[in-house]
Structure 1
Amino acid sequence: MEFSLERIESKIEFFEAYDLKTLEIKINDQIENNKALLLDVFSLSHQAVFNPLANKMLYSAVVHFKAK
């Protein structure tokens, strides 16, 4: 088994939730996790759409993390 130590330079993660508070919690939790990898938020974009199957709004976000 080979073990390689390479630093992650860039990482993109996707999040979704049916309310903004849950979405914010998910993003904040992952920001804290990525601090251990020495990654900071580089950009964030979000979108809201109506989900007719669930009959409520669906909020999504894309967060791009980059090395410090």
Structure 2
Amino acid sequence: MVFITELIHDKVESAEASSLKELEKKVNDLIDINKALMLEVHHVSHHVTPSPKGVLLYSALIHFKAKNTPDSQ
């Protein structure tokens, strides 16, 4: 069995929810998970979209980048 280990330099994840509070929790969970991968938040964009039924859908895109550590240079 061969394991290939490569550093992740950039990663984009998305989250969506039916409430702003739920979206915030999902984004915070993604941040915590990516901290373990030595990634930090570079940029967050968020949008609110009404559905045809009038319900709001909240979404966010989170761009993670590798932390700048002395070992990674």
Return the TM-score normalized by structure 1: 0.93
CA RMSD after TM alignment: 0.9
Alpha-carbon separation, structure 2, partners of 1:30 and 1:63: 9
Query: Rg larger in 1 or in 2?
Result: 2
Instruction: Give matches, 1:17-28, under 5 Å.
Output: 17-28=17-28
Alpha-carbon separation, structure 1, partners of 2:30 and 2:16: 13
Residue type at the aligned position of 1:62 = L
Partner of 1:3: 3
Return the TM-score normalized by structure 2: 0.87
Point out where structure 2 has 5 or more consecutive residues left out of the alignment. Answer: 68-73
Partner of 2:70: none
Residue type at the aligned position of 2:18 = Y
Structure showing the higher strand proportion among its residues: 1
Point out where structure 1 has 5 or more consecutive residues left out of the alignment. Answer: none
Q: Deviations over 1:8-55 (max 9, x none)?
A: 0000001110100110000000100100100000000011010124x3
